[in-house]
Structure 1
Amino acid sequence: MQRQSSYAQEAGKLYLVPTPIGNLDDITIRAKRILQEADYIAAEDTRTSGILLEKIGVHNRMLSFHKYNSKERAPELVSLMQKGAVIAEISDAGMPVISDPGYILVQECIKNNIPVVPLPGPSAFATALIASGFDAQPFTYYGFLPRKKGEQQPFFEQMNKAHATSIFYEAPHRLVKTLANMATIFDSDRKIVAARELTKIHEEFIRGTISEVTAYFKEQAPRGEFVILVSPNTQQSEQLSWAELIDLVNELVANGESKKTAIKEVAQNNHISKNELYDRYHQK
């Protein structure tokens, strides 16, 4: 067991600092102060973050920390913190660790007893969820889906059966193809919301059935980054057998999910005990 006091007096620590997802006014007073006081700022893209930091008056030294160098860079950052440095980790936009490699640095800090201090702030999927009109409890966040149709289908099958709102991100140049892939799994009248350019001047929510939203974007070329939300399945369906549930877990594992995460998702989406599914899965 490990116990952490985030506000202990150790000099070295890691702050996870959210940055605006569009509107710069969304930077918090505390986030700005931490960025100004940190010895280093670990940034996913130093050029993108440099523009933001310049606009909010922060001029501290930046270190690149992204998915291509995270495994090598994390120990270096930990070493700096062990010597007393305070590091603020930021994503290109929104919450660090969410859809970025920040979790690798968090894991290294925990392993080395370095305090990790999270700050609350902007998140694109949460911002879209509260304005979607769908039930916000429960929901499942998938991040970015695989790009290939065959790899996407197991995720869409999970969403199709889920009694929770499902959320994922998509890039504009892949949006129409992804919606077409969805349509092969879902009923055409299933409700979805496509939220784009959140908090920016061109913020927009396109609400409708999958077929309606797909038709709209075939006429209007998608622009900006998208959050896609899928309404919960409200149909009462028969309970799947344990063999079928285990097959669903195996599909998610085959597509890159850990066994633990896959079991949790399948259990949640089918309203069954996670522990019981775990036991059944490992007895297979």
Structure 2
Amino acid sequence: MQTQHSYANDQQGKLYLVPTPIGNLEDITIRAKRILEEADYIAAEDTRTSGIMLDRLGIHNKMVAFHKFNSKEKAPELVKLMQEGATIAEISDAGMPVISDPGYILVQECIKSNVPVVPLPGPSAFATALIASGFDGQPFTYYGFLPRKASQQRPFLEEINASRATSIFYEAPHRLLKTLEQMLEVLPGGRQVVCARELTKIHEEFIRGSLEEVIQHFKEVDPRGEFVVLVSPNTEEKPLDWADLVKLVKEQVAQGVSKKDAIKQVAKSQGVSKNELYDRYHQEGAK
């Protein structure tokens, strides 16, 4: 067990997780800008992309590259710097660090070494898309990027099809239509979908409609920009399992209905075999 007091020792090195704008530079917070200005180092997923953004903000602190190809080797080096008193601000290319980037590896190493990890609130593409989707915001499931191969996508799509929560994932423009068509092999064509692109930018767009309608749209209009795809919850009535059906029979029997009539009524109302329900009921009774 471990308890972290983020600000108990201001002399101690820290890791700040600093969100950056997902498109509109005005979305940088006052606190995020201050932390970036004061940090000894800025760990960036892509120093070139982040360098352009930081330059526009007037921030010229030393950057170190921290990405999926060097994260395991680089994390101990950065932790050592923080143990020696350095403050490091970790940023993603856009949005929240750790969300769909390798930042969690540095967070894990900090936790192991008792280096405080201080998160800042801020922009996130999937949360921004969710609140404007029109779907219920709770519960929701965020998948990041789905696997590229159709065979590997299918288990996720089956899970999304059955889910009672809003499902969210990211997709690249050149794969969007193929992924939507793969979804149609698993999900009903009438399932509601939202594809959000260019969030917070001048060309921000939300394409809302049934899965079939959205597929048709992208057959006529080439997808451009990175997409957040949201799928509405499955609102179909969940079929009762045999244990539930036996429980219904027992409830009717408790109310004075004969076992024979109770089994007949429940089987008819739920569209199941009367003989199988009879067997299940007596198997349950034998336990």
TM-score range, shorter chain: 0.7 to 0.9
- The residue aligned with 1:273 is none
Q: Deviations over 1:109-159 (max 9, x none)?
A: 000000000000000000000000000010000000000000001000001
Q: TM-score, normalised by structure 2?
A: 0.83
Cα 1:144–1:241 change in 2 (3 A) is farther
- The residue aligned with 2:47 is 46
Alignment of 1:97-246 (within 5 A): 97-238=98-239
| Aligned residue type for 2:172 | A
| Aligned residue type for 1:227 | V
1:23 pairs with 2:57: no
Measure the CA separation in 2 of the matches of 1:71 and 1:99: 16
Q: TM-score, normalised by structure 1?
A: 0.84
- The residue aligned with 2:94 is 93
4+ residue runs over 4 A deviation: 239-242
* Percent identity of paired positions between Structure 1 and Structure 2: 74
- The residue aligned with 1:4 is 4
Q: Deviations over 1:192-243 (max 9, x none)?
A: 000000000000000001111011111110000000000000001225699x
Measure the CA separation in 1 of the matches of 2:194 and 2:241: 28
Measure the CA separation in 1 of the matches of 2:91 and 2:5: 21
Cα 1:116–1:241 change in 2 (3 A) is farther
Q: Where in structure 1 are there 5+ consecutive unaligned residues?
A: 243-284
- The residue aligned with 2:277 is none
Measure the CA separation in 1 of the matches of 2:141 and 2:242: 22
Measure the CA separation in 2 of the matches of 1:108 and 1:240: 45
Measure the CA separation in 2 of the matches of 1:2 and 1:113: 8
Measure the CA separation in 1 of the matches of 2:175 and 2:202: 23
Cα 1:157–1:39 change in 2 (3 A) is same
Measure the CA separation in 1 of the matches of 2:239 and 2:91: 45
Measure the CA separation in 2 of the matches of 1:60 and 1:179: 42
Name the Cα RMSD after superposition: 1.2
Cα 1:77–1:239 change in 2 (3 A) is farther
Measure the CA separation in 2 of the matches of 1:133 and 1:201: 21
DSSP 3-state at the match of 1:15: strand
Measure the CA separation in 2 of the matches of 1:23 and 1:72: 33
1:68 pairs with 2:69: yes
Cα 1:146–1:61 change in 2 (3 A) is same
> What is the CA-CA distance between 1:189 and the residue it aligns to?
0.5
Bigger radius of gyration, 1 or 2?
A: 2
> What is the CA-CA distance between 1:11 and the residue it aligns to?
2.5
DSSP 3-state at the match of 1:207: strand
Q: Where in structure 2 are there 5+ consecutive unaligned residues?
A: 244-287
DSSP 3-state at the match of 1:195: strand
Measure the CA separation in 2 of the matches of 1:239 and 1:143: 32
